Structure formats: structure tokens, C-alpha cells
Amino acid sequence: MIFRSILILLLCSWSTFAAIEPSSGTAAHYVVSSGMTDYNAPFSDVDVLYGPLEKVNRATARWEQFTIRNSTNPLCTVRFLVPQNSHHKILRYQVLINTNATEYRDVNTGTALLPDWDQFEHYFLPQPARATAFMEGVPRSCTLLGHFLSLHTNVHGAAWQQWPNVKILDLNREVLVGTGRNAKDAEGHRLPQKPEKHEYTYVEFKADDYRTMIDAGINLFLVAPPQEKWVRDEPVFYLRPPDGAPALSFPADIYRANYLGFTMFMDEPAVLTVFDSKVQHVARSYDDMAQLVEMRTQATYLAAHPYGERCLENMFKNMGVNFGDMNLLQADFPAWETRLEYGFYEMRGGCNGIVHEGRYNVDSFNNELKTATGKNWNFSADALFKIHFALLRGAAAPFHKFWGTSIYGQCDPMLAPTALTTAYDMGARYFWFWTSDHDHHVPWPEQLALSRTLKEHVSQHTRQSIYKRSPTRDVAIALPDGLCFPFDRFDWVEAPTPQLKANQFAHLQAVRLHTLAAINQCLKRHEDFDITIDDGRRIDGYRRVIRIK
């Protein structure tokens, strides 16, 4: 019995930590004190209610809920369904804020979709304090959101009230289609960018625009506070700052499973590193550059910087929110990157994904490789996509992270639809569009048309979940650790002597040519390949590994 209690303590949600589960109708009232004892907690009371039993696939599950209050004012109520005596999986998840009840579901599984904060179940659901005693299965003390909960009353026979008109949001976290701004161009068509560049006129999205975009398949939005009301209750994800008018309500709004936080992406850690003049004067080799990209990624991603996972927490703290001993970490966003050849090092540096800035053009790609290698290349559009996406997928796969592509204004419009559908078929998660900045901008009607094409393709092509183990692929092309596979010449890295610089570039060039030979071999054999880095870890999931020496 002791061993069983310890096992449940380690694996389960808060109500099953007791040796005896409370009966349905048990209600517990807790008073809150802060984990930061010099400050008040952002809420004063928590009411817990154990609800009715329900049959789910021949197993018994039970509803539970807790209401977070500030004095007598309810801030929000969270309700969830869990298998009885086995709370390691939440089956359904609902939130009541004011009078609006919402259930969040993963469209791919039909089960609960939880908010994406780091350690959500540990911090955001009440947990028994480490050494607490129990009263009829109810813990005398708990923790929640970094604060301490002390049991004041425990009664039986409380009624479970059904929530009328619960709105169900079916959300697809595996296909995130979005634009990097909260505005569109007023022109509705491309402007000439030669012989001089022309900027578009940008106007913020309104309610009708969001309805149009959602219907087209766009499901990820970066919004200003006044725009939130148009996406919050739709089956889409959104990002926004916590301050502004109206400000977010803490903690109620962070229980919304479709609110992802503030940061949509980290901006180009590789580009900002390799083109930094200080770096160019210090780095003496290509592996120096790879190490610096990795370190910059880690330093930025783990920080309270606007491109860091602690930014949202810091913004709430500036609004006066006391987190006690909790960290609010937004740990799931990618790098938006041009130099995709450094993706592996960005993933190793802690970033959770990479989105390529897609300016796909067959002639430009072949010419760039010719300039870099001195050889003629005649890669087709299909080969162009496979090479780019092999680099992205080969960066993300070893770390079980995510990748995707974005369409830029410089992308050949005839290639853009196939870029998105090919990326989807190869396992991409992100499908984005750049909005703003002259020729980088993709006009809004093109964004809508591309989203509709992708939406139709997804509806007709079911693929394996990107959260499952990847299927075995044919080939991994593995480059030496510290090197990369750039498409341009990339010969400006300094060295102590001209001879050493020439030797380094010759080394990179040899690796690049061997990599291109391996790619050609895979393309001729119609093999599914990735391009990755051999850093000593086991390279799993491939029938064959080609190690570039």
C-alpha cells in the first residue's frame, strides 16, 4: 500500500495522491498565501470540487474542478476529466471565465488540448504539498501557481452544476498557418520593386478579415489587445502581450489553451551571428561560427529577452503579478531563419523549432551553387524543396523538435503552393507568410490563396502525428560536427594567415561537394533523405547513414 501510494504520488494528478479517493460531491475550500511571503498572492481562495464518474472506453473517469477566487470574486474555474486512479492523462479540459465556458480539444486525437506552458500540470493544477496529511482523501495543503493553499473546510454532498452552452474549440497544433503581422496590405496586389523598392500600405485586421482568414485555413495570429476578441473564442491560436487595453486577466487568461503567449519566434540567430562584424573579426574557423550560433541561440532562448521563453513572465511581473516559486515559461516557439544550414546548432542550443525564410527560385538556387562550387547544377523544383527541407528536418529530428517554411515575396509565385504542400508531406509544422518590408511582403490575397491550397491538401492527405516517432527514412547524410552545408560561397571567415584561411575554405568546399554528390545519389535513387550533423550521438531512424568525411 505504501509503495502504491508513492507510485501514485509520482505519476498522478493531485486528487489521487491520497490513499483513499474523496467521494463525488466532496468540496474543499483553501485559503492562499504567497510563495513569496513578503507579497500578496494574485488570488486569495481556491475551491475544489470532486465531480461525477463517467464511463470512457469501458474505463471509469471522474470530473474534477477548481475555482480560483479573489475574495468572493471568481476569476476562473477549470474543469477536467481524468481516468479514476490513473490521472496521468487528462481526457477533457474546460475553462469557465465570467459566464463563458470553453472546452479545448486536439482535433487530431479528440482528447484534451492543454495550455502549452512548461510543466503545466505541475504548476497550473493544484498539487498536494510534499509532506501533507490527508483528511478523507483531501490534502490539507497544496500548491498552485507558485503559491501555498491551506485547507479550511471540507464538506460532502456538494452539487455538481452542468455548464450550459460549452463552446468546443477543436484545435490543430500540428499544422500552424500564420502571418508575422497583425495587418494586411491595402493594395491587394504586388507593387513593382525594381528599379526601386515600393512599400505597401498596411492596415490592421478587422473582424471580417479574421473570419476570412480562418475560413481560408489560417489558425495562428499575432494580435494587438483590441483584436483579441475576434480570435479568442475561435478554433485558432493567438499571441499577444499581457499588457495593453484590455490587459490580460491573471491567472484566468493563461488557462486558455489557445493562448500561446507573447513570443511567436526568435529572429534569425544564425544571420545575426554570422554577419555580426565583431563575430567576423573574432571567429577563426567554421566550427567557431557554429559554436557561436549555438551559444547565441541558447542565451537568447532562455532569457527574458522578447525572443526568450521568460519574456511573458517578465511582462506579467512588470504588471505586478507575483509568481511565488513558479516560472511561467513559454517554451514552444521556433527560430525564423534564413541560414537554415545552422538549424542543427540552433536546435542543440535549445530552440524548439526552425522556420525557413522561403525565397524559393530554381534558377537562383542553381546559380548560387554554381558560384559557390564552380560547377553547373540543374536541380529541379522538386529537388530544391527536398534539399531545403532535408536540412530543416535533419536539424529538428535528432532533438524531437519541429520545422517548417514561410513564403516570402521573393519566392517564385509558381513554386509557393508546392513549397507548402511538399513541406506538409515531409512532416512540417509551421506554414507562415511574411508581411511587411517592401519585396519581402506577400500580398494578403496571395496569403489567402496559399492557405486555401494547403487546407485542401491537408484535408485530402492524412499523415502520421508529428508528435509520434518518425517513420524510418532511407538516408541520413551526416556532416562533421562544427561544419554546415551553405548554398552560397561563404568564404569570408577570417584566419590567422591567408594560407590557413584558404585551407579552411578548401575543407568546407570538399565537404560541400561530397554532400552534393550524396544528395544527387539519393535523388537518382528516389530515396527519402535528411541532412544532419554527426556530433557523436546515435543517428537513428534511417536505413542508411552517409557520413561525410
Where are the domains positioned within the chain? 2-167, 474-547
pLDDT for 282 beyond 90: no
User: For 98-123, b where at least 16 C-beta lie within 10 A, e where not — what string?
Assistant: eeebbbbbbebeeebbbbbbeeebeb
**Per-residue confidence (pLDDT) for residue 313, from 0 to 100:** 97
Q: Confirm if 476 and 528 have CB atoms less than 8 A apart.
A: no
> What per-residue confidence (pLDDT) applies to 502?
85
pLDDT computed for residue 72 by the predictor: 83
| Cα–Cα distances in angstroms (integers) from residue 202 to residues 99, 181, 210, 212, 220, in the given order | 36, 10, 15, 17, 19
How does strand 183-185 pair with strand 202-204?
A: antiparallel
CA 302, 307, 313, 315 torsion-angle sign = positive
Mean pLDDT within 498-527 = 92
Cis bond upstream, residue 195 (ω within 30): yes
Residue 205 predicted with pLDDT over 50: yes
Q: Cα–Cα distance between 264 and 306 in angstroms, integer?
A: 10
Q: What is the pLDDT of residue 19?
A: 52
pLDDT at 283: 84
- Angle, helices 498-524 vs 381-396, to 10°: value is 110
308 SS3 class: coil
For residue 9, pLDDT beyond 70:
no
Q: What is the pLDDT of residues 256-265, one digit of tens each?
A: 999 999 999 9
> What's the pLDDT at 4?
34
pLDDT, residue 13, reads 43
- pLDDT in the model for residue 429: 98
Please state, rounded to an integer, the average pLDDT across all residues of the chain. 93
Per-residue confidence (pLDDT) for residue 87, from 0 to 100: 59
Separation between Cα atoms, residue 296 and residue 273, nearest integer Å: 7
Concatenated DSSP letters for 464-531? --TTSPPPPEEEEEEEETT----SS-------SSHHHHHHHHHHHHHHHHHHHHHHHHHHHTT--EEE
Question: Could you report the per-residue pLDDT of 432-451, keeping only the tens digit for each?
Answer: 999 999 999 999 999 999 99
Name 444's Cβ contacts closer than 8 Å, sequence gap at least 6.
184, 185, 188, 435
pLDDT in tens, 347-370: 999 999 999 999 999 999 999 999
Contact 265, 333 (CB under 8 A): yes
> Which amino acid belongs to residue 78?
V
SS3 call for 38: coil
Residue closest to 518 by CA, chosen among 547, 540, 539: 547
| Beta-ladder partners of 28 | 48, 154
Q: What is the per-residue pLDDT across 44-72, written as a single tens digit (0 to 9) for each?
A: 999 999 999 999 888 899 999 999 999 88
Side-chain-side CA neighbours of residue 475 (13 Å): 24
Per-residue pLDDT of 14-53, as tens digits, reads: 444 445 789 999 999 999 999 887 889 999 999 999 999 9
How much of the chain is helix, strand and coil, in % rounded to 5? 30, 25, 45
Contact assessment for residue 203 and residue 184, using Cβ atoms and an 8 Å cutoff: yes
Is the per-residue pLDDT at 341 higher than 60?
yes
State the pLDDT confidence band at 3, using cuts at 50, 70 and 90: very low
Q: Are 438 and 193 in contact (CB under 8 A)?
A: yes
Q: What is the pLDDT of residue 549?
A: 86
CA 49 to CA 25: how far, in whole Å? Answer: 7
Give residue 11's pLDDT: 35
